Each structure stands twice: as C-alpha cells, then as structure tokens.
Amino acid sequence: MAQSLHQPSSIFELEYPHSVAVYDSYAEAQKAVDFLADERFEVKNLCIVGTDLKSVERVLGRKSWGSVISNAAVSGVGTGLLIGLILLIFVQVPNVLVMLLVTIVMAILISMVFQSIAYAMSGGRRDFTSVSQTVATKYEVLCEHKTVQQARELLATMPGARAAAFTNPPPAQQPSSGPTDEV
C-alpha cells in the first residue's frame, strides 16, 4: 500500500513550517536553536531562513587603464601557472622553467588583450570595480507545525526572552485554513 504523504523536495524544506521567532542577526537565531537543542527539543524540525534580502555592492576603486592592465597581469600569472602545471602532467619537456615562463607570459598577454578590449568597449560606463553580495536583514526560525507551540514555549524560558519580547515585534502568524467565527 502506497502512502500519499507530502514529502519535502529538499533537505532545506520543512513539510508544514510555522514561524517560531524572528531575529535581527544570524547569531541570535543560532543561539535560539542551540538553546532548543540544549533543552532536548527535536531540532531536526527547525530551519533558519534569512529573510528581507538586500543587495549590497561595495565599491573598491576607480577603474583606469593602469588598473585594468595590472589586474590582467595578475590574472594572467595565475592562469599561466595553472596551464603550465597541467601541461607538465601530459607533456615531457627538457626545461620545465622555460615552459612555465612561456605559458605565464602568453597568458598575461592574452589576458591583457581581452581585458583591454572589454574596457575600451565599455565606453566609460561603470568605471569602477566592486564586489556585491546578497544579505539577509532578518532571520526567521521555522518549525514543523506539530511542535511549533512547544518550541515557542521553550524559547519563552530562554534567558533574556522576556526583555526581548518588549523590544521585538511578535512573529508573523500563519493564517488558519479552517472556518472562522468572525461576523
């Protein structure tokens, strides 16, 4: 007889998740889960989810011909060493150092040509270098519906939980799917 129970499609998904608490940092959410683990709660029913995502781009500096050429040279050195070392595995050469030097120089030249062409074609748009990252601004601890109330009650006994209840808004409640008595 086959069972028709809903199975999560990923290890990161809970079957019927409900919010236990929302925290401002990952460390606070991790501390709450650690507290629940110390209290012998079935932590396999929990999940920490980063919410309210934002994209942060850190500008590192202005892009110029000098920075483009120097970045291309550094990139070429790494690529040349990698290609040279791979060639050493498959090709027997009389002078290893000459072969490594040739692959590094060729990789630097190729990298400089392609990065210079790309910079010239940009037409002055985006004349800066940067790194970007997506970060969460809130962290929500989710729990399977069967044990969510137990998790909330245990977290209420956590040291500092009473004070935090006055500074943090309550977690968003899941709407009930049953009939309501509202008129």
Which residue from 44, 49, 104 is spatially nearest to 72, judged by alpha carbons?
104
Q: What pLDDT, on the 0 to 100 scale, is given for residue 166? A: 66
Q: What pLDDT, on the 0 to 100 scale, is given for residue 108? A: 97
179 falls within a domain? no
Q: What pLDDT, on the 0 to 100 scale, is given for residue 10? A: 72
Domain that holds residue 105: 64-125
- With residues binned 3-state (H G I as helix, E B as strand, rest as coil), the percentages for the chain, rounded to 5, are 45, 20, 30
Q: Are residues 46 and 80 in the same domain?
A: no
- Per-residue confidence of the chain (183 residues) as pLDDT tens digits? 444 455 556 777 888 899 999 999 999 999 999 999 999 999 999 999 999 999 999 999 999 999 999 999 999 999 999 999 999 999 888 899 999 999 999 999 999 999 999 999 988 888 888 999 999 999 999 999 899 999 999 999 988 776 666 665 555 544 444 444 443
CA torsion 126→128→132→137, rounded to 10°? -90
CATH of residue 158's domain is 3.30.70
Q: Are residues 139 and 51 in the same domain?
A: yes
Q: Are residues 49 and 138 in the same domain?
A: yes
**Contact yes or no for 125/32 (Cβ under 8 A):** no
In the structure, how many helices (H) and strands (E) does the chain have? 5, 3
11 falls within a domain? no
Q: Are residues 51 and 100 in the same domain?
A: no
Q: Are residues 73 and 121 in the same domain?
A: yes
What does the alpha-carbon distance between residue 150 and residue 121 come to, in Å, rounded to a whole number?
A: 61
Residue 179: phi, psi to the nearest 5? -70, 150
181 falls within a domain? no
* AA identity, residue 76: G
Q: Are residues 68 and 107 in the same domain?
A: yes
Looking at the structure of the chain, the number of domains it has is: 2
Q: Are residues 36 and 53 in the same domain?
A: yes
Label the pairing between strands 17-23 and 128-144. antiparallel
Q: Is the dihedral of CA 119, 120, 125, 128 positive or negative?
A: positive
Q: Are residues 121 and 68 in the same domain?
A: yes
